[in-house]
Structure 1
């Protein structure tokens, strides 16, 4: 990069050449994404420790984070506003979506972002047989050099063996991009379904998984199955640069998943 420095009195003025600016602008857009079921900050050692959760997040320095099982002013987690506290520690913007009232507070999902969150909405997902109320955060993120806000969907699906509710929720998730075939979107969360399930097959009709080979995330000590995912839409606009399951095995009962995704040029149709 061609940079020239000029001294004017006691000030130095740095001039960046137009060629350098153009080169920077031509670099592909890359986004690093983390998805983490934090178990309301309680580790498998029984300790409630948000600093430890924040350390996991900071270890990969992500641009975007989807968090599940987050408490806000709930008695069991010392009535702490966990979304606000995590945002403060990791120095990111946050939105929280409450799905359940619990012990004087609320329980749900959260999104952290390095970039401005210009709009967000929580969609309550279908309930089957009086299951736990689940939700889908829809957040619009103003990512530099994108002409329109990126759509980030974050969720935590039903955990019960029967997949009827997960399938119903998948229909809602897919509907968010069904009429926006070129809308840049990411989906992250705990799907409570393995890669070969009908749930992931349905999600796969609209989304590209960041990992093509299963990478187990639970149980946290010795993972044997993957139920946590990062996905992208449309599939022809994204390239996976990196995907990994983080090796931290104490802070929560899930391992976090992390991916770096690169935006590809739009194809001429």
Structure 2
């Protein structure tokens, strides 16, 4: 009898393993999953860490891979941007757009391959429209193995929105993999900037019938997640909505509602993109060298060890190779600035 029980138990374990393997295989064939989110957190209302806890709880409930966050205000909560990363268990990138304390954040579950930031100065679009009360706007661009994710907060000024839109479209058209954009765009579907985005290949992925502002009684959808894809990678939206899975009262967390989109995509491992037409600063590996691309004039280039020691500080131009002779093998951090763009990336020497 004991032997029979042992045989039956062994057979049950084998069956579970078999069907579990089939299940994993089927899931693998159906593609990879990506969950994206955007959230304007009404930063000026964050006066203590308890409010940051609320925001973090809302974000964690969705289990996102990447998050675009707007209106991050660090006047009352020191290192609010870093706290958002710590409290959600995600990597945090902060771009200051107003004074020294206010801006946008990009959170990611995984460390990006590279991060670039681009500032858009107040009034950059010219024109006669009323100036935006905030100083500047900006874009954070994070590169991952299979896609790019952009975090932004559009201006209230239509002409300045046009400047941001042109920059994003030019970037997307030169990218070698899908580009996703998340942010409070301060526009409706019929506004010029959105029409321009759609006419140039972008598709709105979230449900625009789910209004996002104001959170107490929403009448407009001005928070968006969009996708652009001219690559061999294919994807489809599997779920989208308002991120209300937590126990937090969303009306007390922010004056905007958080938007999320889940997609399923298929890709080829180790895709090598064509960077010949890449617009924007970047470093690409060619053989055993790292070459500068997209540089206008000269760029300030610095290399740091992982302990923070400055290893290189130089001015370099388009096509130059990083001077790595004499540097020890290992991982280093690259920092490069060209005009209003800043690009960072970890390199392995």
Moved more, 195-204 or 243-252: 243-252
Pairwise CA distance, 1:17: 9.6
Q: 2:191 aligns with which of 197, 200, 224?
A: 197
Aligned equivalents of 2:190, 2:20: Cα separation in 1: 52
Q: 2:106 aligns with which of 93, 105, 111?
A: 111
Secondary structure of the residue aligned to 1:125 is strand
Secondary structure of the residue aligned to 1:250 is helix
| Residue in structure 2 matched with residue 153 of structure 1 by the alignment | 150
Secondary structure of the residue aligned to 2:211 is coil
Q: 2:58 aligns with which of 56, 59, 62?
A: 56
What is the number of equivalent residue pairs in this alignment? 240
* Partners of 1:240 and 1:260 within 8 A in 2: yes
Secondary structure of the residue aligned to 1:122 is strand
| Residue in structure 2 matched with residue 144 of structure 1 by the alignment | none
Alignment of 1:221-236 (within 5 A): 221-234=216-229
Which structure would you say has the larger Rg?
2
Aligned equivalents of 1:172, 1:26: Cα separation in 2: 36
Q: 1:3 to 1:135 in 2, by over 3 A?
A: farther
Pairwise CA distance, 1:245: 2.2
User: Unaligned stretches of 5+ in structure 2?
Assistant: 1-10, 245-249, 269-349
Q: 1:84 to 1:17 in 2, by over 3 A?
A: same
| Residue in structure 2 matched with residue 260 of structure 1 by the alignment | 262
Q: Which has the higher contact order (CA 8 A, sep 6+)?
A: 1
Q: Deviations over 1:203-239 (max 9, x none)?
A: 1123111136432111110100111001112178331
Question: Which TM-score applies when normalising by structure 1?
Answer: 0.78
Aligned equivalents of 1:208, 1:3: Cα separation in 2: 48
| Residue in structure 1 matched with residue 165 of structure 2 by the alignment | 170
Secondary structure of the residue aligned to 2:252 is coil
Pairwise CA distance, 1:15: 11
Q: 1:137 to 1:3 in 2, by over 3 A?
A: farther
Pairwise CA distance, 1:136: 0.4
Aligned equivalents of 2:237, 2:216: Cα separation in 1: 27
| Alignment partner of 1:240 is 2:237 | yes
| Residue in structure 1 matched with residue 338 of structure 2 by the alignment | none
Q: 1:4 to 1:116 in 2, by over 3 A?
A: farther
User: Unaligned stretches of 5+ in structure 1?
Assistant: 6-13, 142-147
Question: Which TM-score applies when normalising by structure 2?
Answer: 0.61
| Residue in structure 2 matched with residue 31 of structure 1 by the alignment | 34
Q: 1:17 to 1:193 in 2, by over 3 A?
A: closer
